[in-house]
A and B are shown apart, each in its own frame.
Chain A
Amino acid sequence: EAQVTQNPRYLITVTGKKLTVTCSQNMNHEYMSWYRQDPGLGLRQIYYSMNVEVTDKGDVPEGYKVSRKEKRNFPLILESPSPNQTSLYFCASSPLLAGGPNEQFFGPGTRLTVL
């Protein structure tokens, strides 16, 4: 089944404890990205990657890191999480055509709470 998977789905952690949220897609998509969803602010892009070893900042990159060593994986790293990073996180992937990313497919979401 074609899909985007994220792990963990739920995580409660404490301030300052480094964590990684994994994202994997099995559709051979070049483009991958991360979004966060917050009440009143909606969904906003954190980082994106056009292909392996090519990453760039979205609208809200502060406090996050990403890497794209393999085409299928795009982990989101929080080196020192803070309570304002409590949010619902989504990973997405898309084929990359001449005009850029096409239809984006989203993972199931990771609900993160930072105490």
Chain B
Amino acid sequence: GIQVEQSPPDLILQEGANSTLRCNFSDSVNNLQWFHQNPWGQLINLFYIPSGTKQNGRLSATTVATERYSLLYISSSQTTDSGVYFCAVDLLDMNYGGSQGNLIFGKGTKLSVKP
């Protein structure tokens, strides 16, 4: 099955620092999403980004589908950015011409931002 690998697994930052999180995937995908799981367990949508670049405030993401990776950039980090960041992909089914919506999640990057 498709492999989704995220790096680094853990990241500790001082408030105000910038960071880049990486997601590599092993097959062609129909969809790619980035999520933030906060300390209360809620999954917050950050980006829906099967290809291209998007920005939302201090966060931006880039997906290069042909090279099978995606990057999440966090600038000027804040303590509220702490939590686990997940990349999730939805496999492109060549026979179906689309996907079944089964998001395959990476193991996540645990981010701790210190004041």
Partner of A106, one of B30, B31, B43, B102: B43
Q: Is the pair A109, B42 in contact by a Cβ cutoff of 8 Å?
A: yes
Interface size bucket, A side?
20 to 34
Q: Is the pair B105, A104 in contact by a Cβ cutoff of 8 Å?
A: no
Q: A56–B101 Cα gap in the complex (Å)? A: 11
Q: Is the pair B100, A100 in contact by a Cβ cutoff of 8 Å?
A: yes
| A1 / chain B contacts, CB cutoff of 8 Å | none
Min CB distance, A112 to chain B, in Å? 12
Cβ of B99 within 8 Å of any chain A Cβ, yes or no, is yes
| A14 / chain B contacts, CB cutoff of 8 Å | none
Q: Is the pair B48, A102 in contact by a Cβ cutoff of 8 Å?
A: yes
| A56 / chain B contacts, CB cutoff of 8 Å | 100
Q: Top 10 closest A-B pairs, CB basis?
A: A101-B101, A100-B98, A103-B48, A99-B98, A100-B99, A106-B43, A43-B105, A45-B102, A42-B105, A109-B41
